[in-house]
Structure 1
């Protein structure tokens, strides 16, 4: 901020004249000031590059990089995704004994945030491993439950991402590369386990999903003459106003359209079928748990390509944010999770929001979600900002990515392919960080969802990835 004035006091005239504000960022900030009559000058400022200059140079000069990135990108763009089954998590994820999967990089009970603790407690109650909250907390604190990231078992989970053995999981397959990926079923919005809620309403819903919804979906999916092409549904969503992360209305309705005939044809109690259809139809985020493993399949196809700087995973556990890259395999590069900025439900405010949480940033890793906000300008009503912000965000993400995905076309940009394949080197050179739009869980365990907004990874993730990739480049030279 700069001011004009004649005073020579301790403040040098700082308060003598009206403020003149220079704003760098989304329009919502400068717009709020203008509404109060403040003069604002908007500038397109970019932060300095990140990481060590020597590492950046080593990576930029790596002779393997161009060919490696072409290989990684080709695998990502070629990957498909079809729904092949719905099965209990214990069967497809090898969850023996007392094991719970969670979102983000590895985590201990001691380091877990409020919503993660709430979801873990709720899962223990749901599985019958504890009969009270206190018993569940003691069990988790004693190490009586094994905690493991969803990503370590080819799975993904939104928000807390907690998946227990009795939950049912979508089973998706990549017919091109042969991979498989999994995700539990979406509970809906509000007070749900993935947001850290664990009251009786949550446990009753989970029991119904285990006993009724899961078995019905399994029978319906297995009876379909052709498997559901989930990648095709995701592509259509972007042409119907969804971006595939926080807005899934069109995708959920298309999924309902595809599943309804098979569900209606089942030899099952009509009340159960009606309840299942009503639940799917009333859950705008039902498709998210199909979209996430679709993105997971594509990004997993690019794993273990020496010399590639492409990011294969962005995930958060509510305490740390972690990334993985094609050139460094399963190694995690982490930093402190940031708290999203956005819009809040009811009387909730910024002080109620937990730091960023969830595997759903796999959507941005794939090039949709926050990267394709231009396809869904209505999303700004849910996460904040303006329509110009949404368009500008997508345009900026093209500068951080290695390719445009022709399958994920954005109508308002002349059907330009979504910016896909985050490049660690591009992030380091520009200092710009990937944009994610996300839900916000309450900081206190048991609260549930408090809002939705925008967030970016911490710089430390990309600085760590840059250093590791540079070390690999030097070793290969």
Structure 2
């Protein structure tokens, strides 16, 4: 023992950093391991996690779910009015919002403002006050987009008269939907509901949507995975940055528009609107990712995450193996860059269905391909690469359709495994815009956030109970 302490000591510290700091002050050489108990230290969830790890039924289910995700072939098939695609909208006054379920009284400002705007757009109420009374009286149903195979950015609002992109998975015929991107500024997805905003939405229905529909009739279905893959090689991550993807889409859609019988003035107007909006492809990307994740959903006993979504208050996830159940927690704050004049105190909590891109292995998971994104969300190109590498530790595999040049063309990490998240303490990273907490102010910044660990701990408990029931071991 005396000889041991007479030699230079090299210490490995696991857990609290303060122990390592004290050893360094005493002159020791310390390697610190950033470790914490799995599942937030919840003993019951930790035992469930240990039981689920390498469980043969879960492993088999994950192989099936991940294979279905990889096999998905989303194509942009059509543009239709929401009530034509979502049958529930024909039976009742229904408006869809982003994220997991939430009651009107608990909604954030931007979502409330957007819903009020949608009620007026549909002609169900003449003004803000009348629209809110209609909602408070329970005469308008509010449900998540995900409950109807749909997604929407930020507030995520879809109402019956809005046009939708239709994406079809050619592997299984399943269809998913997204609203059309309004552009920047005062827009419904940030809660703005002025006459200017509603007039733009009416123009999108009357002019933009019919033109896109006619162009798709000329071009035929547009394969989306190759377009997204090419955009990743051109500096996009197809969530917060869609400049290249939108450009690739323009190359396909404008010649098709010129091949229609539409008036030249309409073709010019529509082309100009798409060209001016670098975010136009975002909604298409979201619907494509929704189609890929829906293919992986509904595999009994799978621990693969099939949905991540936020409503401006809570963050929710779904697992493939636990059906339609949501696992929710308070949304984590967004760390990023704010526009001049705004700060953290002005921001709404994380918001929108666009985290479906990260769920599908792009967006924040593909930041290594998009070093320019750090100018928008903060950090450095090295941080972006580190985020993509770190996500490999919590996923089932990689998607060879989406490769990252900065990582020697390695496939993007994909197939978030709730077990690995809870065990390793690494949270899925998400690129996101930051909305002002007041309706209609709009975007005030952008940054990076993560899914809250509490969602995954709750999901592990539920999955363990499901597997035990399946195995006849229920307590």
For residues 346 and 441 of structure 2, the distance between their equivalents in structure 1, rounded to whole angstroms, comes to 9
- Asked if 1:109 is matched to 2:104, the reply is yes
**Secondary structure of the residue that 1:425 maps to in structure 2?**
helix
Contact 1:62/1:307, CA 8 A, preserved across alignment: no
Written as runs of structure 1 = structure 2, the 5 A alignment for 1:445-464 is 445-464=439-458
Shift of the alpha carbon at 1:275?
1.2
Partner of 1:64: 57
Q: Which residues of structure 1 form unaligned runs of 5+?
A: 1-21, 24-40
Shift of the alpha carbon at 1:267?
2.1
For residues 44 and 206 of structure 1, the distance between their equivalents in structure 2, rounded to whole angstroms, comes to 53
For residues 37 and 351 of structure 2, the distance between their equivalents in structure 1, rounded to whole angstroms, comes to 27
Contact 1:196/1:442, CA 8 A, preserved across alignment: no
Q: Which of 403, 406, 409 is 1:412 aligned to?
A: 406
Return the structure number with greater helix share. Answer: 2
Partner of 1:303: 297
- Asked if 1:158 is matched to 2:153, the reply is yes
Written as runs of structure 1 = structure 2, the 5 A alignment for 1:380-391 is 380-391=374-385
Shift of the alpha carbon at 1:90?
0.6
Partner of 1:76: 69
**Secondary structure of the residue that 2:302 maps to in structure 1?**
coil
For residues 42 and 454 of structure 1, the distance between their equivalents in structure 2, rounded to whole angstroms, comes to 28
Shift of the alpha carbon at 1:250?
0.4
* Number of equivalent positions: 438
Shift of the alpha carbon at 1:467?
0.4
Q: Which of 372, 382, 385 is 2:366 aligned to?
A: 372
Partner of 1:315: 309
Q: Which of 394, 402, 427 is 2:421 aligned to?
A: 427
**Secondary structure of the residue that 2:61 maps to in structure 1?**
helix
Shift of the alpha carbon at 1:448?
1.2
Q: Which of 125, 128, 131 is 1:130 aligned to?
A: 125
- Asked if 1:474 is matched to 2:468, the reply is yes
| 1:118-162 per-position Cα deviation (integer Å, ceiling 9, x unaligned) | 110111121111111111121122211111111111111111100
| 1:319-338 per-position Cα deviation (integer Å, ceiling 9, x unaligned) | 11110011111111111122
Contact 2:218/2:259, CA 8 A, preserved across alignment: no
**Secondary structure of the residue that 2:101 maps to in structure 1?**
coil
Which one is further off, 139-148 or 361-370?
A: 139-148
Q: Which of 38, 50, 55 is 2:48 aligned to?
A: 55
TM-score by length of 2: 0.90
Pairwise CA RMSD of aligned residues?
1.6
Q: Which of 267, 270, 274 is 1:273 aligned to?
A: 267
Partner of 1:147: 142
For residues 462 and 204 of structure 2, the distance between their equivalents in structure 1, rounded to whole angstroms, comes to 43
TM-score by length of 1: 0.89
For residues 336 and 346 of structure 1, the distance between their equivalents in structure 2, rounded to whole angstroms, comes to 27
Shift of the alpha carbon at 1:271?
2.0
Partner of 2:166: 171
Contact 2:422/2:453, CA 8 A, preserved across alignment: no
Partner of 1:6: none
For residues 55 and 299 of structure 2, the distance between their equivalents in structure 1, rounded to whole angstroms, comes to 14
Shift of the alpha carbon at 1:61?
5.0
For residues 124 and 336 of structure 2, the distance between their equivalents in structure 1, rounded to whole angstroms, comes to 37
Written as runs of structure 1 = structure 2, the 5 A alignment for 1:186-197 is 186-197=181-192
For residues 318 and 47 of structure 1, the distance between their equivalents in structure 2, rounded to whole angstroms, comes to 29
For residues 430 and 282 of structure 1, the distance between their equivalents in structure 2, rounded to whole angstroms, comes to 43
